[in-house]
Amino acid sequence: MKKEETRQAASTVFEGMTSISAVINGGHRKIERVLIDREKAKKKIRETSFLKRCSERDGFEICLCDGDEIDPLTTGNTHGGIIALCGEREIAPLQDPLPEGKGFYVMIDGIEDPYNFGYALRTVYAAGADAVILTPRSWMSAAGVVCRASAGASELIPMYISEPENACSFFKAHGVRVAAAGIRNSVSAFSADLSLPLFLIVGGEKRGISAKTLERADIVVRLDYGRNFRGSLSAASAASVLAYEILRQNIINTEKR
């Protein structure tokens, strides 16, 4: 099977130091073994020293091996000769207490590709989201690919599982407004009040957000285009723009206080 064809397969192999460091710092899953290309290890003294310290603390094994032992286990080509074989991450259902932070929560549902899912997680994490709410059907089974695409964000950000309608009810019960991305009965995101606390829901390009979920939203927001365009942004792009508009508005609100 070609590497490109394996990117959607379930995998807990984390490739490269960015991904492995995120697993270590996130603390959401156990590293079982780290494989290091013995030839490349000669030039990666700082990385190998760091991993040895972590292995002594966290109890995982480090194995020096030939590069051709690593390559069949990977889907990418930028691992630098270092990979980690990890256990599954247990993601809790959405429940009390609320994740700590500024009050910015995001659900991205319906993305059709793990790389795009990872790109979206990278952006919402950088924009300051406190937690990501996943549906039971998400790309976190392809955890290694998602982690690499998200530059480690998928292992750093808190995650919870819930169906969209239940998540809306949960956050509204805690006094958190719900903003859904959509077109019908919408207002421009650039003029809408997106002050925190806020739960943002972005649906995929194919299915969008269900009517029942939209009914539970306090506000439906759209992204206006700079020209007549009949297409739509990808879910990852829409989530990125909306996350940074939320960041922009709340930075301004903070500066005004």
The 10s digit of each residue's pLDDT in 109-167 is 878 889 999 999 999 999 999 999 998 877 888 999 999 999 999 999 999 999 999 99
124 Cβ contact list (under 8 Å, min separation 6): 106, 108, 132, 153, 157, 239, 240, 243
- Tell me what percent of the residues of the chain surpass a pLDDT of 90: 65
Q: Given this model, what pLDDT does residue 1 score? A: 42
Contact (CB, 8 A) for 87 and 144: no
Counts for the chain of helices (H) and strands (E), in that order = 10, 12
* Nearest in space to 148 (alpha carbons), one of 124, 121, 130, 129: 121
Q: CA distances (Å), 122 to each of 33, 52, 100, 117, 240, in order? A: 26, 28, 19, 9, 9
Contact (CB, 8 A) for 195 and 249: yes
How confident is the model over 167-221, as pLDDT tens digits? 999 999 999 999 999 988 899 999 999 999 999 999 876 677 888 899 999 999 9
Say what the pTM is: 0.89
Domains and CATH numbers, the chain: 3-86 (3.30.1330.30), 92-256 (3.40.1280.10)
CA–CA gap between residue 200 and residue 197 (Å, rounded): 10
Q: Given this model, what pLDDT does residue 80 score? A: 82
Helix (H, G, I), strand (E, B) or coil at 13: strand
Torsion of CA 49, 54, 59, 62, to 10 degrees: -30
Q: Given this model, what pLDDT does residue 211 score? A: 87
Q: At what angle do helices 235-256 and 114-126 cross, to 10 degrees?
A: 0
